[in-house]
Amino acid sequence: MGEEKVGSSGLLRLALAACASLSALEVFAQPYVVVGQCRFGAPNGGYELRMPDGALRVAGAFAQGRLTGTFIFWTAGGARIAVVPLDNDARNGTLALWYTNPQQGNEVGHKLEAPYVDDRLHGIKRSWYANGVQRGEYRYEHGCACVDRGGRAASRWPSAQPRQR
C-alpha cells in the first residue's frame, strides 16, 4: 500500500465532511495521510485516512475509483461517528450517525438512522436528540416522504408514542 498526502484525495475528504457532519474547514485543516492503492490511476481496494500519529479516521474501499462497501468514520479521539454503506458511489443500506463524548472518546447515543436504496431514502428514517429522546421518525418511499390523506407529512410512522388525549 502506498502513502500520500490527502491533497490528491479530495473525494475522500468531501465524503468525510458530508457524512461525518464535520465542517469542511476542520477537514481541510488537518494533516491527514491517505493509505491505499491505485489501479490505472484510480483508487482501488481498501482505503484508510489516518492522522500523522496513526489514529484511524476513515476506513472504506474503492472499486475502480468509485466508493464501495461500508465507510466508517471516527473522531480524532477514536469514537465512531458515522457508518455509510455505499455501492458504486451511491448510498445503499442504513446510514448511521452517533453523538460522541469528546472527553471519553466514545459514542454516547444514536443521532440518525436512515435507510437508502439507490442513493434515495427508502424506509423509516429516525433521529434523536443528544439526550436520547427521539426527535423524529419519518417514512420514505423511493426518496419521497410519505404523506397522509390531508397532505401532511406522515411523521411518527408507525406511531412510537401514545397519542395525547
Query: Three-state SS across 41-108?
Result: CEEEEEEEEECCCCCEEEEEEEECCEEEEEEEEECCCCCEEEEEEEECCEECEEEEEEEEECCCCEEE
pLDDT of residue 153: 58
% of the chain with per-residue pLDDT over 70:
70
Q: Does the residue 40 lie in any domain?
A: yes
pTM of the predicted protein model: 0.72
Domain assignment of residue 154, yes or no: no
Q: Give the helix/strand (H/E) hosting 24.
A: helix 24-29
Sign of dihedral through CA atoms 22, 25, 28, 32?
negative
Does 133 fall in a domain? yes
Would 60 be classed as within a structural domain? yes
Residues in Cβ contact with 28 at an 8 Å cutoff, skipping those fewer than 6 apart: 13
| pLDDT over threshold 60, residue 94 | yes
Examine residue 162 and state whether it is found in any structural domain, yes or no. no
The structural domain count of the chain equals 1
Residue 84 has what pLDDT? 95
Domain assignment of residue 82, given as a range: 2-145
